Structure 1
Amino acid sequence: MPSEDQSNQNQVFRSRLSFLPLLNQWNKLIQVQTDGKGKIYRDLSDLVSLHPELLQPIDNFYLLKSHRNVIDLMMTTVFPVAVKNEEQLYAVSVPFSNKVVYASSLFSEMFLDEKSNICNLDSYEKSGVGIKECIAYTVILERFYGIKLKGKINSVYSYNDKKKKHTNFYSIHFDPQFIEVHTTSKLPEIPEDFFKTLHYIKDINNQPGLSSLLPLEQFEFEGMTILHLDDVTEHELLRTVQNSLLAPDVFTDKSNFNRLCQELSQLLHTQEINIGFLSFLQSHIISGNSNNVTSLVLKSIRHDEERPGFYSQLKEAFIKNNSQPLFITSNTDEKAKHFPFTKNPDIARFRMLSFFPLKDGKEITGALEIFSVDENFYSSSFHSGIDSVCNLLQLALKKSTEQSNNEINKIIKEQFTAVQSSVEWRFVQAATNFLARHNKGEEVKMEPIVFEQVFPLYGAIDIRNSSGERNNAIQQDLVEQLKTVREIVTSAESYMTYPLLREIISRIDVYTESVTNFLFTDDEQKVHFFLREEAEELLLHLKETIPDLAKRIDEYFSSIDPRLHVFNKNKTHRASSASPSD
């Protein structure tokens, strides 16, 4: 009978702790290694043989306590002394269980409860189900069918560090080399189609019929799982920040911007800071909407007419400082005398004011503001993360600027006919003023455009809004194509359980939303790349694995332009309607 400590095991998996796979590995090494290493394995094998209870599958974990010294010696062959230090995170667990039988000191301190069960790793049991299946079928396929799959079994988990008051992320590598599998059932032959698509461990998720062909209830697993943990916090936080910056309203929606600031604080390894963001490219828009201002300094400036002076002053300071960060230590610093805003009550409370330039090539396009009441909040970890943060913000600034420019262009197209390039600046100015007043909540009308004492030297005609109609046609085609791909992938989910399908659907939803309102150049390019490189490959794979979808997939490919790989029905219709008739 398994002890109560094993009651939390997933009932699908029949597994037991056993050191026999490790001993079997020793015996193989003893046969081929005649030097000192072989003698070490032989001595250890002789030592373990003095304890017959360790040579059998173990259900009573209290047995481990009385043999702790022997087990510690055994584990030196799994975890070499070179990696056994206080900074390492590793453990040995019962297969498919959160029961740990051996662990590094740091692993025990961070992740084990009083019964040596893994805890504090968010959704360890829940998200581990797919991982467990991958481990199980990796072992089964190699043991009974000779299929050795490539790749590693990894999964990322979050850990709430209560001492440091933030969340870390760890990638766990599950090593199944010491797991053996047995069955009393007669196993079927694997169809040849399986061999065509089974090359990597991740391919297991592509086999919807595998669980029916080889039900896990037919197998019993004995051995131990090796766990290695790597800190991937910075990588995951960068990914999180990137996702947050994809939100079109990240700089205008207060809750989204506050969440972004929290993520940036953690990425910079400090919570004792206030973060602001300033754009030199959109000063006319940002300064006109005090409710959505993301700059700490601009929030402290009460009068709109004072803001342009701050922009030019800060940009000039960056240029004089060779585009290096600007640091102002409290309002008594000599530099503070040159910046009137440091006397504002909302700013004067900070002891350290830091401005990091955002650059597009050599052009300074904005600034990241980091203010703190502590002059010494900087650390080596902070400096290692600030470059990544600034690079991400610069990309977001570029996208945000393009969005604002498109809003201005949209207003111009709605309010005016074709605009000649020589006077375009005046229409941009009027549209900018219109947008700024609109953002303040005012009821506004477009100001009249008048050029006193200006006489045109030539005239021209244009099909009104032709470029806008073209963009609308492209938008409609992209949305329709994304919708078609989504329908096919959604249908595929009813045939197979594959996490990638759900991820693809989520991405399609994001892409659809991004191209529905305004069609930005970078969004159009991303969608085209996705449809051409990823969606087509996935659909061809689904056509082979799910014959029922073959007809719909063929219809999809017959509907796309073979050269551009996109729908062009609406674009073609627009072009024909705009052409002069005979």
Structure 2
Amino acid sequence: MILEKAIDNPFEVQISFHKLLENLEAIAAADVDYRAHYAKGLLEAAAAVPELRDGIRDFSTIKLHTELIRNLLADLFPTALTNNEIKAITIPFHNITFNYSTRFQQILNNAGPDFDMEVRDFTDESFYVMSCCMILNGYYGYNFDFSKPFFYDIPDAAGIMRHYRILYNADFIEIFPTEKSLPIAAEDVDLLINNFDNVALWKEKFPSKSWIMRGFGIMTLYDATVESAVSNLKTNLLTPKNEADKDNIHESFQNIFRSIFRFNDLHIGYSAIDAVTNHFSVSPFEKKISSFLTCGNDDPDCDYFLCHTSLSDLIHEKKYFVISDVEQFLKDNPDATLAKKLLDQDVRSAIFAPVVKNGNLLGIIELVSATKKRLNTINSNKLDIVMPYLVDTIDRYYSEINNQIEALIQKEYTTIHPSVYWKFREEAHSHLNDASSLHEIVFNNVYPLFGQIDIKGSSDRRNATTKEDIIEQVSLLKSIFESINTGKKLPIFEQKIFELSQYLASLNDEIKADSEHIIQNYIRSEIHPVLKLHKPERPETKQLIESYFENLDRNSDTVYAARKKYDATVSIINKKMADILDKKQVEAQQYYPHYYERFKTDGVEHNLYIGNSITNEAEFDFLYLYNLRLWQLQVMCEMENQYHLLQPSLPYPMEVASLILVINLPITIRFRMDEKRFDVDGSYNARYEVIKKRIDKAFIKGSTERITQQGKITIVYAQQEEEQEYKRYIAFLQHKKRLGPKVEFFEIEDLQGVSGLKGIRVEVLYDETSQKLYSYGELLKEIEN
């Protein structure tokens, strides 16, 4: 029996069977003789132990009367089900359990004498608050839903961790106040429901041992090992891992798969596949996961290990490749290199699961065992419940890697910014003097500033202009063939009119990814040859055909009018915004030299790096960082104002949104001479790059609202001091009529690998006059006055 630990709680627990005894008294008074005799016998035995009715406070009493208690509970614990049900008497959330069913007792025996059964992720604080919630519901009649899945993690005889979901039945429990209890008013409840995590408040309203819990509860467990393991797997896949955790990732995953497959000699591996070379490669996202397919071979060919049929099944059919008996497989296939490699690693059964996304084979997940037939085509189906999560996660890992590669490509240098030219000159001079090899240029402890003014919904607008152009082209062609058919009716012309009409009808729905390719291919191969060979009899038809070909874009051979307007609009916006940045940046360099770069996408992004290592001038002071941040915020206001003036003249209507990312910790950047580009250095800096790539698409936590909005500047930060700093800037620029009075503060949804970000969003006041840029010193003077 597991007994109550000395944990502070609002209850004085009295285990009582009074409700059962009252039920037995009703049975004893009934007319059914055999039931009445049975009830009278139990009542007579129970009468000798008054604590069973009055309440047991000394838990040793339970041990003394185990058999009697078991007989009292016989109707609730049927003998016929004792080997199937996992059941015991308990006090909810307390560590008091006894009267186990046979199956429950066997589970505890398998766990071993040293096993301590505790509810997973259930702290003393959670225990106290949930006990208070039981009082609110059971005594005061509230209906607060404080339930959540509770689990026991119990190892079996083989050491495999099994996960059991806990269900409580509190029908036989009553709750009473004592003289220590405090009255709870509606105002108290309103306060409590808004302060679930304030344990001190709950203890104030429900003092320790101020209530009586009398009776008993019934706890039923069911084996939720697979469901829990899948949940743990999803948590592991979604939870960002720091460097300290990475060594445990492989072991954690392996334990999860062992729980799912329910045996202990299961091992996992992963083989990445380079689609271009058709070679296996080391996992690009987790180097510690080994591969049983390659067994340490460098850059092996996929076909060398897998026969073409099996590889085809893996890729095209997305089937699992299962070898339940490797030795027998080798006998049946004497030339099978794969079987020989597996046996060399003491693998006797294996499952190879393809990771396929959008028709591309990214890699192969490997499950192996040293026992033959332990892995087979039957239990391979268990992978079905986890493969979607694994495929999406691995695809996300590859996307992140590609994003990092793209970020690095965008940083490739063709010129050297003046702020760091001195460092390159110094290194070149050193190289010429002693003929040593060129070293990497490193700038330590620099503070990054990132900002962007982004065109909102650019992808949707691009798709809309594409659809507009295709509809225009197909409509023109339909009109041409209708004109041709008017002069000379032929079935082939009617066929073309019908086909073009069908394409027009399909374009009225949402345009698909391949719609443009399909339609343009049809026009080039089926329509243009007919028009070029046709000699129109009617002048109107000839004019239509000539006008059509004259208006086609020469590069793409398509109608490109709407897209050209879109491209021109993006180009105008980017040029104007970039010109403002470049011009203002020259002025900012006078405050304190710093590194600057900007690049155009669907909008303009800029990076600034400031720190003593970048300049060989005066010692760096944080005043210069604050000044640059204030400068950046003002320049974003200026860009918003200039765009507001520019917008009416644009060929295509567009909106923009501005964003600033604040990072308060210094990073290291280096210019790699062999690659001729700057690169951030270290895992934290890589995290900074990931935030930059994703933050503008993020949502406000708990909503579907994007953090950026037109006409407003969004400031993203993580620390309280950053918030206070930008509050000062905003107040100053509100005073200067640059920013509006409305300021929003919010938390940002967790990004992959990043959590805890916050945001400020403030509206821009539009002013057609040229705006002066204020310095941080002027801000300080304004505050002092």
TM-score after normalising by structure 1: 0.63
Tell me the distance in 1 between the aligned counterparts of 2:33 and 2:693.
65
Corresponding residue SS for 2:690: coil
Corresponding residue SS for 1:559: strand
Query: Which of 668, 690, 709 lines up with 1:518 in the alignment?
Result: 690
Determine if contact 1:273/1:372 at 8 Å carries over to the other structure. Answer: yes
Tell me the distance in 2 between the aligned counterparts of 1:36 and 1:150.
44
Cα drift, residue 405 of structure 1: 0.8
Determine if contact 1:182/1:220 at 8 Å carries over to the other structure. Answer: yes
Tell me the distance in 2 between the aligned counterparts of 1:253 and 1:294.
11
Say whether 1:170 aligns with 2:355. no
Cα drift, residue 254 of structure 1: 5.7
Tell me the distance in 2 between the aligned counterparts of 1:401 and 1:9.
50
Tell me the distance in 1 between the aligned counterparts of 2:339 and 2:398.
28
Query: Which of 211, 216, 222 lines up with 1:224 in the alignment?
Result: 216
Say whether 1:215 aligns with 2:198. no
Residue 461 of structure 2 corresponds to none
The 1:74–1:298 alpha-carbon spacing in structure 2 relative to 1, beyond 3 Å, is: closer
Corresponding residue SS for 2:394: helix
The 1:49–1:471 alpha-carbon spacing in structure 2 relative to 1, beyond 3 Å, is: farther
Corresponding residue SS for 1:141: helix
Determine if contact 1:141/1:147 at 8 Å carries over to the other structure. Answer: yes
Cα drift, residue 75 of structure 1: 1.0
Residue 291 of structure 2 corresponds to 296
The 1:150–1:350 alpha-carbon spacing in structure 2 relative to 1, beyond 3 Å, is: closer
Corresponding residue SS for 1:209: helix
The 1:155–1:533 alpha-carbon spacing in structure 2 relative to 1, beyond 3 Å, is: farther
Determine if contact 1:181/1:220 at 8 Å carries over to the other structure. Answer: yes
Cα drift, residue 149 of structure 1: 4.0
Cα drift, residue 406 of structure 1: 1.0
Determine if contact 1:173/1:228 at 8 Å carries over to the other structure. Answer: yes
Matched ranges for 1:430-445 at <5 A: none
Tell me the distance in 2 between the aligned counterparts of 1:89 and 1:231.
9
Q: Deviations over 1:114-135 (max 9, x none)?
A: xxx9972454599363454355
Corresponding residue SS for 1:10: coil
Matched ranges for 1:558-577 at <5 A: 558-559=743-744, 567=759
Determine if contact 1:274/1:372 at 8 Å carries over to the other structure. Answer: yes
Corresponding residue SS for 1:530: coil
Determine if contact 1:270/1:382 at 8 Å carries over to the other structure. Answer: no
The 1:378–1:106 alpha-carbon spacing in structure 2 relative to 1, beyond 3 Å, is: same
Residue 150 of structure 2 corresponds to 155
Q: Deviations over 1:519-578 (max 9, x none)?
A: 4988876x5263526999xxxxxxxxxxxxxxx9xx99932699x9994769999xx9xx
Determine if contact 1:170/1:229 at 8 Å carries over to the other structure. Answer: yes
Counterpart residue type for residue 389 of structure 1: V
The 1:208–1:268 alpha-carbon spacing in structure 2 relative to 1, beyond 3 Å, is: same
Cα drift, residue 271 of structure 1: 2.8
Tell me the distance in 1 between the aligned counterparts of 2:346 and 2:689.
42
The 1:216–1:270 alpha-carbon spacing in structure 2 relative to 1, beyond 3 Å, is: same
The 1:14–1:37 alpha-carbon spacing in structure 2 relative to 1, beyond 3 Å, is: farther
Percent of residue pairs bearing the same amino acid type:
16
More helix by share: 1
Corresponding residue SS for 1:393: helix
Residue 433 of structure 2 corresponds to none
The 1:267–1:10 alpha-carbon spacing in structure 2 relative to 1, beyond 3 Å, is: same
Matched ranges for 1:210-359 at <5 A: 210-246=202-238, 255-280=248-273, 287=281, 292=287, 294=289, 296-297=291-292, 299-300=294-295, 302-304=297-299, 306=301, 316-318=311-313, 322-328=317-323, 329-330=325-326, 333=330, 336=333, 340-344=337-341, 347=344, 349-359=346-356
Residue 145 of structure 1 corresponds to 140
**Superposition RMSD in Å:** 5.6
Tell me the distance in 2 between the aligned counterparts of 1:471 and 1:382.
53
Tell me the distance in 2 between the aligned counterparts of 1:382 and 1:81.
33
Tell me the distance in 2 between the aligned counterparts of 1:534 and 1:158.
39
The 1:30–1:149 alpha-carbon spacing in structure 2 relative to 1, beyond 3 Å, is: farther
Matched ranges for 1:362-511 at <5 A: 363-378=360-375, 382-415=379-412, 465-467=599-601, 470=605
Tell me the distance in 2 between the aligned counterparts of 1:122 and 1:519.
42
Tell me the distance in 2 between the aligned counterparts of 1:121 and 1:157.
10
Q: Deviations over 1:140-192 (max 9, x none)?
A: 3355433354464752232233x211222223233333233344427544332
Q: Deviations over 1:500-530 (max 9, x none)?
A: xxxxxxxxxxxx99963314988876x5263
Tell me the distance in 2 between the aligned counterparts of 1:524 and 1:103.
56
Residue 78 of structure 1 corresponds to 76
Tell me the distance in 1 between the aligned counterparts of 2:368 and 2:228.
25
Query: Which of 91, 105, 109 lines up with 2:106 in the alignment?
Result: 109
Determine if contact 2:88/2:100 at 8 Å carries over to the other structure. Answer: yes
The 1:406–1:28 alpha-carbon spacing in structure 2 relative to 1, beyond 3 Å, is: farther
The 1:533–1:118 alpha-carbon spacing in structure 2 relative to 1, beyond 3 Å, is: farther
Tell me the distance in 2 between the aligned counterparts of 1:144 and 1:415.
69
Determine if contact 2:162/2:223 at 8 Å carries over to the other structure. Answer: yes
Q: How many pairs are equivalent?
A: 480
Corresponding residue SS for 2:142: coil
Determine if contact 1:297/1:347 at 8 Å carries over to the other structure. Answer: no
Q: Which structure's CA Rg is the greater one?
A: 2
Tell me the distance in 1 between the aligned counterparts of 2:440 and 2:346.
38
More strand by share: 2
Determine if contact 2:303/2:311 at 8 Å carries over to the other structure. Answer: no
Query: Which of 124, 128, 132 lines up with 1:133 in the alignment?
Result: 128
Determine if contact 1:156/1:169 at 8 Å carries over to the other structure. Answer: yes
Say whether 1:528 aligns with 2:699. yes
Counterpart residue type for residue 347 of structure 2: F
Tell me the distance in 2 between the aligned counterparts of 1:294 and 1:571.
49
Corresponding residue SS for 2:212: strand
Q: Deviations over 1:300-357 (max 9, x none)?
A: 3634364686689587432688332223453753775665454448756433343222
Determine if contact 1:234/1:267 at 8 Å carries over to the other structure. Answer: yes
Bigger Cα displacement from structure 2, 362-371 vs 327-336: 327-336
Tell me the distance in 1 between the aligned counterparts of 2:395 and 2:56.
60
Tell me the distance in 1 between the aligned counterparts of 2:658 and 2:339.
47
Corresponding residue SS for 1:518: helix
Determine if contact 1:280/1:311 at 8 Å carries over to the other structure. Answer: no
Determine if contact 1:185/1:218 at 8 Å carries over to the other structure. Answer: yes
The 1:330–1:138 alpha-carbon spacing in structure 2 relative to 1, beyond 3 Å, is: closer
